[in-house]
Amino acid sequence: MLRLADSWIWDFWLADDGLRYHVFYLKASRALGDPDRRHWHATIGHAISDDLCSWTEVVDALAVGTSRAFDDMSTWTGSVVRGDSGLWDMFYTGVSRSEAGSKQRIGLATSPDLHAWTKHDQQPLLESDPRWYEREWPDEAWRDPWSSATRARNAGTC
């Protein structure tokens, strides 16, 4: 089991590179004090395992973006898939400070080895379409990007 003494961890997704298992997860420092604050300070952690039982934490996969980026406040739930080119794609949710985290968008980062991640130039990759998505709530919960982001990328719209 993966447990970090100094961080809360939640929401995770797995990738198998054929040699090791990689788990990516949301994490935030316990120094925040109040666990409800973790969502606004989340990064995407990374750990590896040979047996799915013993885990070794490695360098975080993704951190928040630079000022004015769609993900400059927090990074949230995602998924990892291997593309036809052999590169790994991580689709993830991001929220920005400019909107006080009220609008969620989907971003993309790629990696040759599941360790070194590069955010895609076109960010965000996807966001909700007001023709099809209700915007009557104070925030726009549009995440868990697996299916919509993968379809869009495969359709050549990104």
Question: pLDDT, tens digit, for every residue of 140-156?
Answer: 666 654 444 444 444 44
Task: Return the number of other C-beta atoms located less than 10 Å from residue 1's C-beta.
Answer: 6
Average pLDDT for 71-76 = 92
Quick one: pLDDT at residue 142?
A: 60
CA distances, 142 to each of 65, 114, 134 (Å): 18, 25, 10
Q: Domain locations in the chain?
A: 7-154
For the segment 78-88, the average pLDDT, to the nearest whole number, is: 93
Least confident of 52-56, 107-111, 118-122, 147-151: 147-151
pLDDT at 60 over 50: yes
Q: What is the pLDDT of residue 101?
A: 81
Output the CATH code of domain 7-154: 2.115.10.20
Cα torsion 50, 92, 65, 57 to 10°: value is -10
How much is the average pLDDT of 78-94? 93
pLDDT of 129: 75
* Rounded Cα distance, 62 and 49, in Å: 19
Average of per-residue pLDDT across 25-50? 93
The arithmetic mean of pLDDT across residues 105-113, rounded, is 94
Considering only residues 14 and 1, tell me which one the structure prediction assigns the higher pLDDT: 14
pLDDT value at position 144?
54
36 contacts: CB under 8 Å, gap ≥ 6: none
pLDDT on residue 110: 96
Query: Is the confidence at residue 51, as pLDDT, over 90?
Result: yes
For residues 52-70, give the mean pLDDT: 93
